[in-house]
Amino acid sequence: MSKLTNTPVGNRSKLLATVSAAALLGMLQGTGAHAGTDADRPLIWFEFGGQLDRFSGEPEPYAPPFTDEAVAHGLPSPVSVTPSTRYSFGETGAISFQPEDSSWSFSAAIRYGRSGGKKHTHKEIEVAGVPFTGTRTIQPFGPNNQGPINRTADYSVKNNESHMIVDFQVGKDMGLGLLGRDDVSRLGFGVRIAQFTTKSNLTLFADPNPHLSSKYFPPFHRSLPVIGYYQFYKAKPEILRNFRGVGPSLSWNASMPLLGSHESDAEVTFDWGADFAVLFGRQKARIRHQTTGDRHKHDPFGPFHGAPKYSTDHYVNSANVSRSRSVVVSNVGASAGISLQFPNAKVSIGYRADFFFGAMDGGIDARKNENRGFFGPFASISIGVGD
Closest listed residue to residue 127, CA positions, set 204, 66, 75: 75
The secondary structure of 347-377 as a DSSP string is EEEEEEEEEEEEEEE--SSS--EEEEEEEEE
Beta carbons within 8 Å of 289's beta carbon, 6+ residues apart: 62, 64, 235, 236, 237, 238, 239, 318, 319, 364
What is the reported pLDDT for 212? Answer: 65
Between CA 236 and CA 154 the distance in angstroms is 12
Backbone torsions φ then ψ of 367, nearest 5 degrees? -65, 140
pTM listed for this prediction: 0.76
Between CA 162 and CA 88 the distance in angstroms is 8
Do the bridges between strand 310-342 and strand 345-361 make them parallel or antiparallel, or are there none, so unpaired?
antiparallel
**DSSP character for 115?**
E
What is the reported pLDDT for 333? Answer: 95
List the domain boundaries for the chain: 2-385
**DSSP character for 128?**
P
What is the Cα Rg of the chain in Å? 31
**DSSP character for 302?**
G
Q: Where are the alpha helices (DSSP H) in 160-226?
A: none
Look up residue 157 and give its amino acid: V
The secondary structure of 35-55 as a DSSP string is ---GGG--SEEEEEEEEEEEE
pLDDT tens-digit profile, the chain (387 residues) = 444 444 344 444 444 444 444 443 444 344 433 334 455 678 899 999 999 988 887 788 888 888 888 898 889 988 887 766 678 888 999 999 988 888 899 999 999 988 888 888 899 887 766 655 555 555 555 555 555 677 889 999 998 999 999 999 999 887 655 555 567 889 999 999 999 999 999 999 988 877 666 555 565 555 555 566 667 888 888 999 999 999 999 999 998 888 876 666 788 999 999 999 999 999 999 998 888 887 776 665 555 444 555 555 555 677 788 999 999 999 999 999 999 988 889 999 999 999 999 999 988 888 898 999 989 999 999 999 876
Q: Where are the alpha helices (DSSP H) in the chain?
A: 15-30, 67-72
Closest listed residue to residue 16, CA positions, set 48, 53, 50: 50
Backbone torsions φ then ψ of 349, nearest 5 degrees? -135, 150
Strands (E), 218-266: 222-235, 238-259
Between CA 139 and CA 147 the distance in angstroms is 7
What is the reported pLDDT for 33? Answer: 37
Beta carbons within 8 Å of 208's beta carbon, 6+ residues apart: 66, 69, 70, 72, 73, 75, 151, 153, 231, 233
